[in-house]
Amino acid sequence: MDPDRPSGFRLEDRSFLVLILIITLAMCWVLEPFFGAVMWGLVAAIVFSPVYQRLLAALTGRRTSAALLTLLLIVALVIIPAIILAIALI
């Protein structure tokens, strides 16, 4: 600790924290319309992570191919049936 520095926050420290808080709130405001898509992406990443890991091991480290196959699997198992169900409900 610096003996010349007071023990409390200085004005610069408080200003920096306020600025960080304002920037964080602004970022949340900008991302708010995309919250649903981000959450569904997070759910898909968590659910299909073991599939990706197995494909990665089977394809001997070809990450792009494993990611493409995982994405095609997500489309085939989740997105296409959801579209068909939505059409049937309409």
C-alpha–C-alpha distance, residues 41 and 23, integer Å: 24
Indicate whether this model's pTM tops 0.85.
no
Span 55-79, average pLDDT? 93
pLDDT digits over 1-57, tens only? 555 665 666 888 889 999 999 999 999 999 899 999 989 999 999 999 999 999 999
Task: Tell me the DSSP string of 19-32.
Answer: HHHHHHHHHHHHHG
Look at residue 70 and tell me whether its pLDDT is greater than 80. Answer: yes
What's residue 49's pLDDT?
96
